[in-house]
Amino acid sequence: MLIFYTVGITANLKIVNEKISRSAAKAGRNPLDVKLVAVTKTIDLPEIIEAVKAGVTILGENRVQEVQKKVSSFKFQVSSERIEWHLIGHLQKNKAKTAVELFDMIQTVDSIELADEVNKQAKKMNKTQRVLLQVKLSDEETKHGVSEKDMNELLEEVSKMQNLKLEGLMTIPPFFDDHELARPYFRRLREIKEEAAGFCLPELSMGMSNDFEVAIEEGATMVRIGTAIFGERGL
Ligand SMILES: *Cc1c(COP(=O)(O)O)cnc(C)c1O
């Protein structure tokens, strides 16, 4: 098991950013091509604000209701123009409207039905909704995501939807104590992107606290990191 010491959010962020730079350099990549999504689910506003003051610009949340409260009080307390909110948790169709209202990017579109609904709500709001497609590369029952088999059809359909801007792919591999075991999943997501020639999929959202360095070596452009910044989440 990895242990994260909570020496403070600002210090943790510095360490995370150094690790991002080091992994990018190791893979011959520009560290600026890797964006940090600070995962703030269950984290309270004062901590989020500390992270933003320390330079975080993208916040990842996994539940629509939780964010509804946070966004409004956040906007009171911080000048939030340069902050992006990303939905990284599963989205139910009946919450699509709120999600489109709240999130700059929805990383978890995984079916034509959901894409349709998000597109419809975005159209009503006269918004172009940035999205990623969540791809499921393992056979874990509990995980969401489109299967490789259904991937092409979803790509085709989403590309036609006028109020969606498809920017790339996202995946959550199974958890492994040995992060090297996650590498094939990250590599596979990059291959899927490369095989989907004809679609512009610049973003690969992959890698969390325990495995983001491996994900960057395999081409991640967004890493989603909670615990390594904020400490262990209470249950
Ligand atoms: C919680 C969560 C993360 C962050 O996980 P950590 O291990 O705390 O870094 C990343 N991605 C998704 C989809 C999550 O739900």
**Whether pLDDT at 124 is above 90:** yes
Domain-embedded: residue 194: yes
**Whether pLDDT at 13 is above 80:** yes
The pLDDT tens digits for 63-96 are 998 888 888 777 666 665 679 999 999 999 999 9
Q: Is the CB of 209 under 6 A from ligand 1?
A: yes
Burial class from Cβ neighbours inside 10 Å (0-12, 13-18, 19+) for residue 139 reads exposed
Domain-embedded: residue 34: yes
Q: Is the CB of 226 under 6 A from ligand 1?
A: yes
More confident position, 154 or 140? 154
Q: b/e per residue, 198-227, with b = 16+ CB within 10 A?
A: ebebebbbbbbbbbbbbbbbbbbbbbbbbb
Domain count, the chain: 1
Q: Which domain holds residue 116?
A: 30-228
Domain-embedded: residue 18: no
Distance (Å) from CA 227 to ligand 1 centroid:
8
Q: Is the CB of 229 under 6 A from ligand 1?
A: no
Domain-embedded: residue 192: yes
Q: For position 143, what pLDDT does the model report? A: 87
Q: For position 34, what pLDDT does the model report? A: 98
* CATH code, domain with 206: 3.20.20.10
**Angle at which helices 148-160 and 112-124 cross, to 10°:** 20
Mutational pocket test of ligand 1: of 110, 205, 208, the residue with most ligand atoms within 8 Å of the beta carbon: 208
The pLDDT tens digits for 191-235 are 999 999 899 999 999 999 999 999 999 999 999 999 999 998 875
Stated pTM of the model = 0.94
Q: For position 78, what pLDDT does the model report? A: 67
Q: For position 109, what pLDDT does the model report? A: 98
Q: For position 56, what pLDDT does the model report? A: 95
Q: For position 233, what pLDDT does the model report? A: 82
Decide: 76 and 54 in contact? Cβ < 8 Å: no
Domain-embedded: residue 142: yes
Q: In the structure, what pLDDT confidence band is assigned to residue 144 with cuts at 50, 70 and 90?
A: very high
Q: Are strands 58-61 and 84-87 parallel, antiparallel or unpaired?
A: parallel
Distance (Å) from CA 183 to ligand 1 centroid:
17
Q: For position 150, what pLDDT does the model report? A: 95
Q: For position 216, what pLDDT does the model report? A: 98
Domain-embedded: residue 14: no
Q: For position 79, what pLDDT does the model report? A: 64
Domain-embedded: residue 15: no
Q: How far apart are CA 196 and CA 94, in angstroms?
A: 30
